[in-house]
Protein backbone atom coordinates (compact mmCIF):
# COMPACT_ATOMS: atom_id res chain seq x y z
CA UNK A 1 0.00 0.00 0.00
CA UNK A 2 2.78 2.44 -0.90
CA UNK A 3 1.04 4.50 -3.58
CA UNK A 4 0.57 8.23 -2.86
CA UNK A 5 -2.88 9.29 -1.65
CA UNK A 6 -4.09 12.22 -3.72
CA UNK A 7 -7.42 12.93 -2.04
CA UNK A 8 -8.44 16.29 -0.57
CA UNK A 9 -7.23 17.73 2.73
CA UNK A 10 -8.87 20.91 4.00
CA UNK A 11 -6.75 22.66 6.59
CA UNK A 12 -8.79 23.59 9.64
CA UNK A 13 -5.87 24.96 11.68
CA UNK A 14 -2.22 24.14 12.29
CA UNK A 15 -3.06 20.76 13.84
CA UNK A 16 -6.26 19.54 12.12
CA UNK A 17 -6.93 18.45 8.54
CA UNK A 18 -10.31 17.45 7.17
CA UNK A 19 -11.30 14.96 4.51
CA UNK A 20 -14.74 16.32 3.57
CA UNK A 21 -17.63 13.86 3.41
CA UNK A 22 -18.20 14.89 -0.20
CA UNK A 23 -14.93 13.19 -1.13
CA UNK A 24 -16.40 9.74 -1.40
CA UNK A 25 -19.81 8.24 -1.94
CA UNK A 26 -21.07 6.58 1.22
CA UNK A 27 -19.25 8.84 3.70
CA UNK A 28 -21.67 9.69 6.51
CA UNK A 29 -19.36 12.20 8.17
CA UNK A 30 -16.05 13.99 7.65
CA UNK A 31 -12.62 12.51 8.29
CA UNK A 32 -10.41 14.44 10.68
CA UNK A 33 -6.66 13.88 10.92
CA UNK A 34 -4.54 15.49 13.62
CA UNK A 35 -1.18 16.43 12.10
CA UNK A 36 1.27 19.25 11.49
CA UNK A 37 1.80 20.58 7.98
CA UNK A 38 5.22 18.89 7.97
CA UNK A 39 3.58 15.49 8.62
CA UNK A 40 1.00 15.70 5.86
CA UNK A 41 3.44 14.80 3.07
CA UNK A 42 4.40 11.61 4.93
CA UNK A 43 0.78 10.79 5.71
CA UNK A 44 0.02 10.91 1.98
CA UNK A 45 2.65 8.23 1.29
CA UNK A 46 0.24 5.37 1.95
CA UNK A 47 -3.50 4.80 1.83
CA UNK A 48 -4.20 5.49 5.52
CA UNK A 49 -6.20 8.67 4.67
CA UNK A 50 -8.39 6.55 2.36
CA UNK A 51 -9.01 4.28 5.33
CA UNK A 52 -10.10 7.31 7.37
CA UNK A 53 -12.63 8.08 4.62
CA UNK A 54 -13.75 4.44 4.53
CA UNK A 55 -14.37 4.40 8.30
CA UNK A 56 -16.59 7.45 7.82
CA UNK A 57 -18.96 5.11 5.93
CA UNK A 58 -19.70 2.91 8.97
CA UNK A 59 -23.39 2.88 9.96
CA UNK A 60 -24.14 4.73 13.18
CA UNK A 61 -20.86 6.66 13.27
CA UNK A 62 -20.98 9.68 15.60
CA UNK A 63 -18.83 12.76 15.11
CA UNK A 64 -15.89 12.49 12.69
CA UNK A 65 -13.83 9.52 11.61
CA UNK A 66 -10.66 10.42 13.51
CA UNK A 67 -6.96 9.69 13.08
CA UNK A 68 -4.08 10.64 15.34
CA UNK A 69 -0.69 12.00 14.14
CA UNK A 70 0.91 8.55 14.42
CA UNK A 71 -1.45 7.37 11.65
CA UNK A 72 -0.29 4.73 9.19
CA UNK A 73 -1.92 2.04 7.08
CA UNK A 74 -3.51 -0.87 8.93
CA UNK A 75 -6.12 -3.60 8.50
CA UNK A 76 -9.48 -1.92 7.82
CA UNK A 77 -9.02 1.07 10.11
CA UNK A 78 -5.76 2.98 9.92
CA UNK A 79 -3.47 2.49 12.89
CA UNK A 80 -4.13 5.64 14.88
CA UNK A 81 -7.82 5.51 13.98
CA UNK A 82 -10.72 6.31 16.32
CA UNK A 83 -14.44 5.97 15.63
CA UNK A 84 -17.51 6.00 17.87
CA UNK A 85 -20.86 4.46 16.93
CA UNK A 86 -24.27 4.52 18.57
CA UNK A 87 -27.96 3.76 18.09
CA UNK A 88 -29.70 0.73 16.65
CA UNK A 89 -27.66 1.05 13.44
CA UNK A 90 -24.35 1.51 15.25
CA UNK A 91 -21.84 -1.19 14.34
CA UNK A 92 -18.81 -2.83 15.85
CA UNK A 93 -15.87 -3.74 13.59
CA UNK A 94 -12.88 -5.95 14.48
CA UNK A 95 -10.84 -3.83 12.05
CA UNK A 96 -11.36 -0.95 14.49
CA UNK A 97 -9.59 -2.90 17.23
CA UNK A 98 -6.93 -4.89 15.41
CA UNK A 99 -5.40 -8.34 15.73
CA UNK A 100 -3.31 -7.67 18.84
CA UNK A 101 -6.28 -6.93 21.10
CA UNK A 102 -5.31 -4.72 24.05
CA UNK A 103 -1.78 -4.28 22.91
CA UNK A 104 -0.93 -1.69 25.54
CA UNK A 105 1.63 0.01 27.74
CA UNK A 106 2.34 -0.18 31.46
CA UNK A 107 4.77 1.97 33.45
CA UNK A 108 6.23 0.86 36.78
CA UNK A 109 7.84 3.49 38.97
CA UNK A 110 10.86 3.09 41.24
CA UNK A 111 12.50 5.35 43.83
CA UNK A 112 15.90 4.60 42.30
CA UNK A 113 17.97 7.40 40.79
CA UNK A 114 19.96 7.12 37.57
CA UNK A 115 23.27 7.05 39.47
CA UNK A 116 22.20 3.91 41.33
CA UNK A 117 21.13 2.07 38.19
CA UNK A 118 23.73 3.21 35.63
CA UNK A 119 26.45 0.97 37.07
CA UNK A 120 24.11 -2.01 37.26
CA UNK A 121 22.23 -1.70 33.98
CA UNK A 122 24.10 -4.49 32.16
CA UNK A 123 23.36 -6.96 34.96
CA UNK A 124 19.81 -5.68 35.26
CA UNK A 125 19.11 -6.05 31.54
CA UNK A 126 20.60 -9.54 31.52
CA UNK A 127 18.39 -10.74 34.37
CA UNK A 128 15.28 -9.14 32.89
CA UNK A 129 16.05 -10.92 29.62
CA UNK A 130 16.51 -14.17 31.51
CA UNK A 131 13.34 -13.82 33.62
CA UNK A 132 10.86 -12.63 31.00
CA UNK A 133 10.17 -14.89 28.01
CA UNK A 134 10.22 -13.07 24.68
CA UNK A 135 10.38 -13.64 20.95
CA UNK A 136 8.13 -15.17 18.30
CA UNK A 137 6.08 -18.06 19.68
CA UNK A 138 7.60 -17.72 23.15
CA UNK A 139 6.01 -19.71 25.95
CA UNK A 140 5.37 -18.58 29.51
CA UNK A 141 7.17 -19.89 32.58
CA UNK A 142 3.90 -21.01 34.14
CA UNK A 143 1.49 -23.50 32.61
CA UNK A 144 -2.17 -22.51 32.85
CA UNK A 145 -4.88 -25.15 32.70
CA UNK A 146 -7.93 -24.46 30.53
CA UNK A 147 -10.06 -23.72 33.64
CA UNK A 148 -7.33 -21.29 34.79
CA UNK A 149 -7.31 -19.64 31.38
CA UNK A 150 -11.09 -19.26 31.42
CA UNK A 151 -10.74 -17.55 34.78
CA UNK A 152 -8.17 -15.17 33.25
CA UNK A 153 -10.64 -14.42 30.42
CA UNK A 154 -13.24 -13.32 32.98
CA UNK A 155 -11.10 -11.76 35.70
CA UNK A 156 -8.07 -10.43 33.83
CA UNK A 157 -5.25 -9.19 36.05
CA UNK A 158 -7.21 -10.14 39.18
CA UNK A 159 -6.97 -13.83 38.25
CA UNK A 160 -3.16 -13.76 38.51
CA UNK A 161 -3.13 -11.35 41.46
CA UNK A 162 -5.07 -14.01 43.37
CA UNK A 163 -2.19 -16.39 42.68
CA UNK A 164 0.29 -13.97 44.27
CA UNK A 165 1.64 -12.30 41.12
CA UNK A 166 1.47 -8.71 42.28
CA UNK A 167 0.12 -6.42 44.98
CA UNK A 168 -3.49 -5.79 45.95
CA UNK A 169 -3.25 -2.16 44.84
CA UNK A 170 -2.09 -3.05 41.32
CA UNK A 171 -5.52 -3.41 39.72
CA UNK A 172 -6.46 0.14 40.83
CA UNK A 173 -3.90 1.52 38.40
CA UNK A 174 -4.94 -0.51 35.34
CA UNK A 175 -7.52 0.67 32.81
CA UNK A 176 -10.87 -1.02 33.62
CA UNK A 177 -9.21 -2.12 36.90
CA UNK A 178 -7.61 -4.87 34.85
CA UNK A 179 -10.78 -6.61 33.67
CA UNK A 180 -13.69 -5.83 31.37
CA UNK A 181 -16.90 -7.28 32.76
CA UNK A 182 -19.44 -9.68 31.27
CA UNK A 183 -17.11 -12.05 29.43
CA UNK A 184 -18.64 -15.22 28.00
CA UNK A 185 -15.82 -17.71 27.44
CA UNK A 186 -18.15 -19.61 25.08
CA UNK A 187 -17.50 -16.92 22.47
CA UNK A 188 -13.82 -17.92 22.39
CA UNK A 189 -12.81 -20.79 20.09
CA UNK A 190 -10.88 -23.87 21.14
CA UNK A 191 -8.15 -22.82 18.72
CA UNK A 192 -7.75 -19.44 20.46
CA UNK A 193 -7.58 -21.20 23.84
CA UNK A 194 -4.96 -23.60 22.52
CA UNK A 195 -2.85 -20.71 21.20
CA UNK A 196 -3.22 -18.73 24.40
CA UNK A 197 -2.75 -21.24 27.18
CA UNK A 198 1.06 -21.36 26.98
CA UNK A 199 1.76 -17.70 26.17
CA UNK A 200 0.69 -15.89 29.35
CA UNK A 201 3.61 -13.99 30.81
CA UNK A 202 5.47 -13.46 27.52
CA UNK A 203 6.60 -10.25 25.88
CA UNK A 204 6.37 -11.40 22.27
CA UNK A 205 8.26 -9.88 19.36
CA UNK A 206 8.08 -7.07 16.80
CA UNK A 207 7.49 -3.67 18.38
CA UNK A 208 6.86 -5.18 21.83
CA UNK A 209 9.49 -4.18 24.34
CA UNK A 210 10.55 -3.60 27.90
CA UNK A 211 12.62 -0.50 28.66
CA UNK A 212 14.41 0.76 31.74
CA UNK A 213 14.17 4.55 31.42
CA UNK A 214 15.22 7.66 33.30
CA UNK A 215 12.93 10.67 33.71
CA UNK A 216 14.83 13.54 32.11
CA UNK A 217 12.32 16.38 32.09
CA UNK A 218 9.13 17.45 33.85
CA UNK A 219 6.66 19.67 31.97
CA UNK A 220 3.64 19.66 34.28
CA UNK A 221 4.76 19.77 37.94
CA UNK A 222 1.27 19.35 39.42
CA UNK A 223 0.48 16.21 37.39
CA UNK A 224 4.03 14.90 37.90
CA UNK A 225 3.60 15.13 41.67
CA UNK A 226 0.26 13.33 41.44
CA UNK A 227 1.85 10.60 39.29
CA UNK A 228 4.93 10.32 41.55
CA UNK A 229 7.45 11.35 38.89
CA UNK A 230 10.63 13.40 39.33
CA UNK A 231 13.84 14.15 37.35
CA UNK A 232 16.53 11.47 37.52
CA UNK A 233 14.03 8.79 38.55
CA UNK A 234 14.30 5.33 36.97
CA UNK A 235 11.08 3.83 35.64
CA UNK A 236 10.20 0.73 33.60
CA UNK A 237 7.92 0.78 30.55
CA UNK A 238 6.57 -2.35 28.88
CA UNK A 239 4.61 -2.74 25.66
CA UNK A 240 2.86 -6.02 24.86
CA UNK A 241 -0.62 -7.44 24.31
CA UNK A 242 -2.76 -10.56 24.04
CA UNK A 243 -0.31 -12.55 21.89
CA UNK A 244 -1.67 -15.39 19.72
CA UNK A 245 -4.83 -15.56 21.83
CA UNK A 246 -6.07 -12.14 20.72
CA UNK A 247 -4.89 -12.69 17.15
CA UNK A 248 -6.95 -15.87 16.87
CA UNK A 249 -10.04 -14.23 18.37
CA UNK A 250 -9.83 -11.43 15.81
CA UNK A 251 -9.33 -13.93 12.97
CA UNK A 252 -12.28 -16.08 14.09
CA UNK A 253 -14.73 -13.20 14.39
CA UNK A 254 -13.62 -11.48 11.19
CA UNK A 255 -14.60 -14.62 9.32
CA UNK A 256 -18.03 -14.57 10.96
CA UNK A 257 -18.55 -10.88 10.28
CA UNK A 258 -17.44 -11.00 6.67
CA UNK A 259 -20.29 -13.44 6.09
CA UNK A 260 -22.77 -11.50 8.23
CA UNK A 261 -22.18 -7.94 6.98
CA UNK A 262 -24.27 -8.36 3.81
CA UNK A 263 -26.94 -10.28 5.69
CA UNK A 264 -27.57 -7.15 7.77
CA UNK A 265 -27.78 -5.03 4.61
CA UNK A 266 -24.57 -3.16 5.44
CA UNK A 267 -22.57 -1.75 2.54
CA UNK A 268 -18.91 -1.00 3.20
CA UNK A 269 -16.18 0.27 0.84
CA UNK A 270 -13.57 -2.22 2.09
CA UNK A 271 -14.20 -5.82 3.12
CA UNK A 272 -11.60 -5.36 5.87
CA UNK A 273 -14.18 -3.14 7.59
CA UNK A 274 -16.50 -6.13 8.07
CA UNK A 275 -18.96 -5.15 10.78
CA UNK A 276 -22.34 -5.96 12.32
CA UNK A 277 -24.75 -4.06 14.53
CA UNK A 278 -23.34 -3.81 18.04
CA UNK A 279 -26.55 -5.24 19.47
CA UNK A 280 -26.65 -8.24 17.11
CA UNK A 281 -25.75 -11.74 18.28
CA UNK A 282 -22.56 -11.63 16.17
CA UNK A 283 -21.69 -8.19 17.60
CA UNK A 284 -22.25 -9.30 21.17
CA UNK A 285 -20.20 -12.47 20.62
CA UNK A 286 -17.29 -10.49 19.19
CA UNK A 287 -17.43 -7.89 21.97
CA UNK A 288 -17.34 -10.49 24.74
CA UNK A 289 -14.53 -12.44 23.02
CA UNK A 290 -12.59 -9.19 22.50
CA UNK A 291 -13.06 -8.43 26.22
CA UNK A 292 -11.67 -11.89 27.04
CA UNK A 293 -8.55 -11.08 24.98
CA UNK A 294 -8.25 -7.67 26.66
CA UNK A 295 -8.39 -9.35 30.06
CA UNK A 296 -5.75 -11.86 28.92
CA UNK A 297 -3.47 -8.96 27.95
CA UNK A 298 -3.86 -7.29 31.36
CA UNK A 299 -3.05 -10.61 33.05
CA UNK A 300 -0.06 -10.98 30.73
CA UNK A 301 1.33 -7.58 31.70
CA UNK A 302 0.65 -8.36 35.36
CA UNK A 303 2.79 -11.50 35.26
CA UNK A 304 5.59 -9.58 33.56
CA UNK A 305 5.29 -6.88 36.25
CA UNK A 306 5.88 -9.54 38.91
CA UNK A 307 9.05 -10.76 37.19
CA UNK A 308 10.29 -7.19 36.69
CA UNK A 309 9.95 -6.62 40.43
CA UNK A 310 11.77 -9.88 41.19
CA UNK A 311 14.60 -8.89 38.83
CA UNK A 312 15.08 -5.50 40.50
CA UNK A 313 15.02 -7.16 43.93
CA UNK A 314 17.83 -9.52 42.91
CA UNK A 315 20.05 -6.74 41.53
CA UNK A 316 19.46 -4.09 44.21
CA UNK A 317 19.02 -6.44 47.21
CA UNK A 318 15.89 -4.68 48.43
CA UNK A 319 12.23 -5.60 48.33
CA UNK A 320 10.15 -4.22 45.46
CA UNK A 321 8.11 -2.34 48.09
CA UNK A 322 11.25 -0.65 49.41
CA UNK A 323 12.25 0.13 45.82
CA UNK A 324 8.91 1.91 45.33
CA UNK A 325 7.90 -0.30 42.40
CA UNK A 326 4.28 0.82 42.16
CA UNK A 327 2.37 0.77 38.87
CA UNK A 328 1.93 4.27 37.50
CA UNK A 329 -0.75 3.17 35.04
CA UNK A 330 -1.62 0.66 32.31
CA UNK A 331 -3.39 1.73 29.10
CA UNK A 332 -4.90 -0.23 26.22
CA UNK A 333 -4.16 0.70 22.60
CA UNK A 334 -6.31 -1.69 20.54
CA UNK A 335 -9.78 -1.98 22.00
CA UNK A 336 -13.49 -1.15 21.68
CA UNK A 337 -15.11 0.22 24.84
CA UNK A 338 -18.62 1.26 25.82
CA UNK A 339 -18.24 4.78 27.24
CA UNK A 340 -20.42 7.84 27.84
CA UNK A 341 -19.79 11.22 26.23
CA UNK A 342 -21.77 14.38 25.62
CA UNK A 343 -22.95 14.62 22.00
CA UNK A 344 -25.04 17.62 20.91
CA UNK A 345 -25.78 18.47 24.53
CA UNK A 346 -26.90 14.96 25.54
CA UNK A 347 -24.99 12.27 27.40
CA UNK A 348 -24.97 9.19 25.17
CA UNK A 349 -23.50 5.71 25.39
CA UNK A 350 -21.09 4.97 22.57
CA UNK A 351 -18.97 2.10 21.31
CA UNK A 352 -15.56 3.77 20.95
CA UNK A 353 -13.11 1.94 18.67
CA UNK A 354 -9.46 2.79 19.34
CA UNK A 355 -7.05 1.19 16.89
CA UNK A 356 -3.56 2.29 17.86
CA UNK A 357 -4.94 5.08 20.02
CA UNK A 358 -4.92 5.73 23.77
CA UNK A 359 -7.71 6.77 26.11
CA UNK A 360 -7.11 10.33 27.36
CA UNK A 361 -9.69 11.28 29.99
CA UNK A 362 -9.52 14.64 31.76
CA UNK A 363 -10.08 15.52 35.43
CA UNK A 364 -13.05 14.29 37.46
CA UNK A 365 -13.93 11.23 35.38
CA UNK A 366 -14.96 8.29 37.55
CA UNK A 367 -12.94 5.88 35.36
CA UNK A 368 -9.68 7.56 36.48
CA UNK A 369 -8.06 6.27 39.71
CA UNK A 370 -8.97 8.50 42.66
CA UNK A 371 -5.29 9.33 43.23
CA UNK A 372 -5.12 11.01 39.81
CA UNK A 373 -8.71 12.18 39.40
CA UNK A 374 -7.98 15.84 40.17
CA UNK A 375 -5.48 16.06 37.30
CA UNK A 376 -6.72 13.45 34.80
CA UNK A 377 -5.72 10.05 33.44
CA UNK A 378 -2.07 9.18 32.83
CA UNK A 379 -1.39 8.70 29.10
CA UNK A 380 1.67 6.57 28.25
CA UNK A 381 3.26 7.17 24.84
CA UNK A 382 6.38 5.22 23.84
CA UNK A 383 8.69 6.49 21.13
CA UNK A 384 11.31 4.38 19.37
CA UNK A 385 14.08 2.53 21.19
CA UNK A 386 16.69 5.17 20.33
CA UNK A 387 14.86 8.29 21.50
CA UNK A 388 12.47 8.22 24.43
CA UNK A 389 8.91 8.14 25.71
CA UNK A 390 6.40 10.62 27.06
CA UNK A 391 3.96 10.49 29.92
CA UNK A 392 1.04 12.83 29.41
CA UNK A 393 -2.26 13.56 31.12
CA UNK A 394 -5.72 13.49 29.54
CA UNK A 395 -7.90 16.55 29.00
CA UNK A 396 -11.54 17.61 29.05
CA UNK A 397 -11.07 18.80 25.46
CA UNK A 398 -10.20 15.27 24.35
CA UNK A 399 -13.48 14.10 25.87
CA UNK A 400 -15.36 16.76 23.89
CA UNK A 401 -13.54 16.34 20.59
CA UNK A 402 -12.00 12.88 20.22
CA UNK A 403 -14.11 10.71 22.54
CA UNK A 404 -11.34 10.87 25.12
CA UNK A 405 -8.63 9.66 22.73
CA UNK A 406 -5.10 10.60 21.73
CA UNK A 407 -2.09 9.03 19.97
CA UNK A 408 -0.43 5.77 21.03
CA UNK A 409 3.19 6.12 19.90
CA UNK A 410 5.46 7.51 17.23
CA UNK A 411 3.90 5.65 14.29
CA UNK A 412 5.82 3.83 11.57
CA UNK A 413 7.07 5.51 8.41
CA UNK A 414 8.77 2.36 7.08
CA UNK A 415 7.38 -1.13 6.77
CA UNK A 416 9.27 -3.81 8.67
CA UNK A 417 10.65 -5.25 5.43
CA UNK A 418 11.86 -1.82 4.28
CA UNK A 419 13.52 -1.13 7.64
CA UNK A 420 15.16 -4.56 7.57
CA UNK A 421 16.44 -3.97 4.03
CA UNK A 422 17.82 -0.49 4.81
CA UNK A 423 19.61 -1.60 7.96
CA UNK A 424 21.33 -4.71 6.59
CA UNK A 425 24.99 -4.81 7.53
CA UNK A 426 24.61 -2.38 10.44
CA UNK A 427 25.45 -3.27 14.03
CA UNK A 428 22.34 -1.89 15.74
CA UNK A 429 23.46 -3.03 19.20
CA UNK A 430 26.71 -1.08 18.86
CA UNK A 431 24.94 1.98 17.45
CA UNK A 432 22.65 2.00 20.47
CA UNK A 433 25.52 1.46 22.89
CA UNK A 434 27.21 4.56 21.44
CA UNK A 435 24.06 6.47 22.43
CA UNK A 436 24.36 5.11 25.96
CA UNK A 437 21.52 2.62 25.49
CA UNK A 438 21.97 -1.11 26.05
CA UNK A 439 19.88 -3.45 23.90
CA UNK A 440 19.20 -7.19 24.06
CA UNK A 441 16.92 -9.05 21.64
CA UNK A 442 16.00 -12.61 20.75
CA UNK A 443 16.56 -11.74 17.10
CA UNK A 444 18.82 -9.25 15.35
CA UNK A 445 16.15 -9.09 12.62
CA UNK A 446 13.81 -7.50 15.18
CA UNK A 447 16.38 -4.80 15.89
CA UNK A 448 16.73 -4.04 12.19
CA UNK A 449 12.95 -3.77 11.83
CA UNK A 450 12.79 -1.46 14.86
CA UNK A 451 15.48 1.08 13.93
CA UNK A 452 14.70 4.66 14.90
CA UNK A 453 14.41 5.73 11.27
CA UNK A 454 11.42 3.39 10.85
CA UNK A 455 9.36 5.71 13.08
CA UNK A 456 8.15 9.28 13.10
CA UNK A 457 9.70 11.67 15.58
CA UNK A 458 7.66 11.04 18.73
CA UNK A 459 8.33 14.63 19.84
CA UNK A 460 6.54 15.93 16.73
CA UNK A 461 3.62 13.58 17.38
CA UNK A 462 3.35 14.81 20.98
CA UNK A 463 3.56 18.44 19.81
CA UNK A 464 0.47 17.89 17.66
CA UNK A 465 -1.70 16.23 20.30
CA UNK A 466 -0.69 18.80 22.91
CA UNK A 467 -1.38 21.78 20.66
CA UNK A 468 -4.66 20.20 19.57
CA UNK A 469 -5.61 19.89 23.25
CA UNK A 470 -5.92 16.08 23.30
CA UNK A 471 -3.32 15.58 26.08
CA UNK A 472 -0.72 17.56 28.02
CA UNK A 473 2.92 16.60 28.46
CA UNK A 474 3.88 15.66 32.00
CA UNK A 475 7.32 14.01 31.66
CA UNK A 476 9.89 12.80 29.14
CA UNK A 477 11.93 9.64 29.83
CA UNK A 478 14.98 8.39 27.94
CA UNK A 479 15.85 4.68 27.60
CA UNK A 480 18.87 3.27 29.43
CA UNK A 481 18.34 -0.42 28.64
CA UNK A 482 15.98 -2.02 26.11
CA UNK A 483 14.73 -5.59 25.82
CA UNK A 484 13.18 -6.67 22.52
CA UNK A 485 11.63 -9.96 21.41
Convert the pLDDT of each residue in 238-288 to its tens digit. Answer: 999 999 999 999 999 999 999 999 999 999 999 999 999 999 999 999 999
Percent above pLDDT 70 for the chain: 100
Average pLDDT, stretch 439-457? 91
Q: Is the pLDDT of residue 136 over 90?
A: no
Phi/psi for 76 (5° steps) reads: 75, -85
Q: Given this model, what pLDDT does residue 38 score?
A: 95
Over residues 149-163, the pLDDT tens digits come to 999 999 999 999 999
| Position 350 confidence tier, pLDDT thresholds 50, 70, 90 | very high
Element (DSSP H or E) covering residue 128: helix 121-131
Q: Is the pLDDT of residue 168 over 70?
A: yes
Phi-psi region of 19 (alpha: psi -120 to 50; beta: other; left: phi over 0): beta
* Calpha distance 208→450 (Å, rounded): 10
Average pLDDT, stretch 45-72? 97
Q: How is residue 455 annotated by DSSP?
A: B
Torsion of CA 297, 382, 212, 167, to 10 degrees: -40
Q: Given this model, what pLDDT does residue 2 score?
A: 60
What are the boundaries of each domain within the chain?
10-484
Over residues 404-436, the pLDDT tens digits come to 999 999 998 888 999 999 999 999 999 999 999
* Calpha distance 58→276 (Å, rounded): 10
Over residues 224-248, the pLDDT tens digits come to 999 999 999 999 999 999 999 999 9
Q: Which residues contact 335 (CB under 8 A, 6 or more apart)?
A: 97, 101, 102, 290, 294, 354
| Position 481 confidence tier, pLDDT thresholds 50, 70, 90 | very high
Average pLDDT, stretch 160-184? 97
Q: How far is CA 22 from CA 12, 57, 85, 362, in A?
A: 16, 12, 20, 33
Q: Which residues contact 169 (CB under 8 A, 6 or more apart)?
A: 326, 327
Q: Which of 297, 338, 269, 296 has the alpha carbon at shortest distance from 77?
A: 269
Residue-wise over 168-206: b if at least 16 C-beta within 10 A, else e? Answer: eebbebbbbbbbbeebebebbeeebbebbbbbbbbbbbb
Q: Given this model, what pLDDT does residue 1 score?
A: 46
CATH class (in words) of the domain with range 10-484: alpha beta
Q: Is the pLDDT of residue 137 over 90?
A: no
* Calpha distance 294→317 (Å, rounded): 34
Mean pLDDT of the chain: 96
Residues identified as active-site: 408
Q: Which of 408, 392, 405, 351 has the alpha carbon at shortest distance from 71?
A: 408
Average pLDDT, stretch 93-119? 98
Q: Please check whether residue 206 is in contact with residue 415, taking contact to mean a CB–CB distance below 8 angstroms.
A: no
Amino acid sequence: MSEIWNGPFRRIDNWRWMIPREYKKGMLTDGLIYASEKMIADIRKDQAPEQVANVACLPGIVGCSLAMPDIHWGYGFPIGGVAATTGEEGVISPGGVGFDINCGVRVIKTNLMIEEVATQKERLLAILFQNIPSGVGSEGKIRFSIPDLKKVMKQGARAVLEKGFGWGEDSTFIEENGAMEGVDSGAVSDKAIERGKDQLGTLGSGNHFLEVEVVERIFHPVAARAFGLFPGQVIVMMHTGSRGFGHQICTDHLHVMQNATKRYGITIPDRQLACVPFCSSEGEHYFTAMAAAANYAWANRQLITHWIRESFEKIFQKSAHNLGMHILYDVAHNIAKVEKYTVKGKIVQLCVHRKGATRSLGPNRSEVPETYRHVGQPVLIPGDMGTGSYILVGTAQAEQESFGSTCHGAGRVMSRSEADRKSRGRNIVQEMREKGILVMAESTATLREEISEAYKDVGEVIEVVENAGLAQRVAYAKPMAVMKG
